[in-house]
Amino acid sequence: MNAIIPWTAIRIKAAKGREKIVCLTAYDYATARLVDEAGLPLILVGDSLGMTVLGYANTLPVTMRDILHHTAAVARGVKNALVVADMPFMSYQVSVSQALANAGRLIKVGAQAVKIEGGELRVPTVRALVETGIPVLGHIGLEPQSVQTMGGYKVQGRTPEAAAELLRDARALEAAGVFALVLEGIPADLAAHITSAVSVPTIGIGAGPRCDGQILVLHDMLGLIPGARQPKFVKRYAELGAAAQAAIANYQREVEAGTFPGTEHCY
Ligand code: KIV
Atom of ligand 1 lying closest to residue 203 CA: 7
State if residue 48 touches ligand 1 by the CB under 6 angstroms criterion: yes
pLDDT tens, residue by residue, 236-262: 999 999 999 999 999 999 999 999 999
Q: Which helix (H) or strand (E) holds 249?
A: helix 240-257
- Res 1 pLDDT > 80: no
Strands 136-141 and 180-184: parallel
Least confident of 86-95, 157-166, 182-191, 226-235: 226-235
Give yes or no for residue 142 CB within 6 A of ligand 1.
no
Rounded to the nearest whole angstrom, what is the distance from the C-alpha of residue 45 to the centroid of ligand 1?
Answer: 8
Q: Is 117 a catalytic residue?
A: no
Mean confidence (pLDDT) of the chain: 97
Nearest CA, atom 4, ligand 1 = 46
pLDDT at 173 (0 to 100): 98
Percent of the chain clearing pLDDT 90 (strictly above): 96
The answer to whether the CB of 202 is under 6 A from ligand 1 is no
pLDDT score recorded for residue 255: 98
Would you give the DSSP letter of residue 111? Answer: -
Between the CA of 96 and the centroid of ligand 1 the distance, in Å, is 22
- CA-wise closest residue to 20 among 1, 46, 39: 39
Pocket test for ligand 1, best of 22, 25, 146 (most atoms within 8 A of CB): 25
Find the range with the poorest average confidence among 1-10, 36-45, 188-197. Answer: 1-10
**Using one digit for the tens of pLDDT, what is the confidence trace for 25-63?**
999 999 999 999 999 999 999 999 999 999 999 999 999
What's the average model confidence in pLDDT over 208-237?
94
Q: 50, 30 in Cβ contact below 8 A?
A: no
Give 47 Cα–ligand 1 centroid separation in angstroms: 6
- Tell me what pLDDT residue 2 has: 67
- Which has more pLDDT, 227 or 93? 93
DSSP assignment of 195-221 equals: HHH-SSPEEEESS-S-SSEEEE-HHHH
What is the reported pLDDT for 3? Answer: 79
Q: Find out whether 99 and 88 touch, Cβ atoms under 8 Å.
A: no
Average pLDDT over residues 77-91: 98
Q: Atom 5 (ligand 1): residue with closest C-alpha?
A: 46
Q: What distance in angstroms lies between residue 144's CA and the mean position of ligand 1's atoms?
A: 8
What is the rounded CA–CA span in Å between residue 208 and residue 189?
8
pLDDT of residue 229: 77
The pTM of this model reads 0.97
Assigned CATH class of 9-236: alpha beta
Compute the 3-state secondary structure of the chain and give helix, strand, coil in percent, each to the nearest 5. 45, 15, 40
Candidates 149, 196, 151, 143; CA nearest to 171 is 196
CATH 3.20.20.60 range(s) for the chain read 9-236
Instruction: State if residue 23 touches ligand 1 by the CB under 6 angstroms criterion.
Output: no
Q: At 226, is the pLDDT very low, low, confident or very high (cuts 50, 70, 90)?
A: confident
Cβ of 145 below 6 Å from ligand 1:
no
pLDDT classification of 140: cutoffs 50, 70, 90: very high
Residue 191 CA to its chain's centroid (Å):
18
pLDDT at 186: 98
Q: Check if the beta carbon of residue 40 is closer than 8 Å to that of residue 226.
A: no
Strand partners, 42: 23, 82
**Centroid of ligand 1 to alpha carbon of 51 (angstroms):** 11
Q: Which of 161, 174, 184, 254 is catalytic?
A: 184
